[in-house]
Amino acid sequence: MSTATKLPYKVKDYSQEEFAKLAEWGRKEIELAENEMPGLMALREKYGESKPLAGTRIAGCLHMTIQTAVLIETLTA
């Protein structure tokens, strides 16, 4: 038996209200990050309407951060 199977763990059962608070916090953090990333915002503004990546599959392996969320939203805008 591996060490991983011996370790106890618990997964918190979040309520809908808790999820809503987390989502609200996350959106505020993303908006703050957008203000600190003018280059991506310029790309979003310039190419957003033309959607040059529409239909394209983009794959990546990234450490998920708030800045990564801004990048993903820019690529899918």
CB 70 within 8 A of CB 33: yes
pLDDT tens per residue, range 12-63: 788 999 999 999 999 999 999 999 999 999 999 999 999 999 999 988 888 8
What residues contact 26, with CB distance under 8 A and at least 6 apart?
66, 69
Alpha helices (H) in 10-65, listed in sequence order: 16-35, 38-47
What residues contact 47, with CB distance under 8 A and at least 6 apart?
77
**At 8, which helix (H) or strand (E)?**
none
What letter does residue 50 receive in the DSSP assignment? T
What is the pLDDT at residue 13?
82
What is the pLDDT at residue 59?
87
Higher pLDDT, 7 or 55: 55
Name the residue ranges covered by the structural domains of the chain: 15-76
